[in-house]
Amino acid sequence: MRLIRRHPILAALGAVALAAVLLLVLSGTLVWRAAHHDDASDVSHADAIVVLGAAQYQGTPSPVLLGRLQHALLLWQQGRAKLIVTVGSNRPGDRSTEAASGRDYLISRGVPAEDVVAVPVGHTTYESLQAVASLLEGMGLHSVFLVSDPWHNARIKAMANDLGLAGYASATWTSGARSEDARGRGYLRETLAYLDYRLLGGH
124-168: pLDDT as tens digits: 999 999 999 999 999 999 999 999 999 999 999 999 999 999 999
Q: How confident is the model at residue 51 (pLDDT cuts 50, 70, 90)?
A: very high
| C-beta separation of 201 from 163 below 8 A | no
| Count of Cβ atoms closer than 10 Å to residue 74 Cβ | 15
Identify the CATH assignment for 39-178 out of 3.55.40.20, 3.40.50.620, 1.20.140.150, 2.30.130.40. Answer: 3.40.50.620
Q: Which of 4-13, 21-30, 141-150 has the highest mean pLDDT?
A: 141-150
Is the pLDDT at 55 greater than 60? The verdict is: yes
Q: What is the mean pLDDT of residues 14-43?
A: 79
Alpha-helix runs per DSSP H in the chain: 2-6, 8-35, 63-77, 98-108, 125-139, 153-162, 180-200
| C-beta separation of 87 from 132 below 8 A | yes
Domain ranges in the chain are 39-178
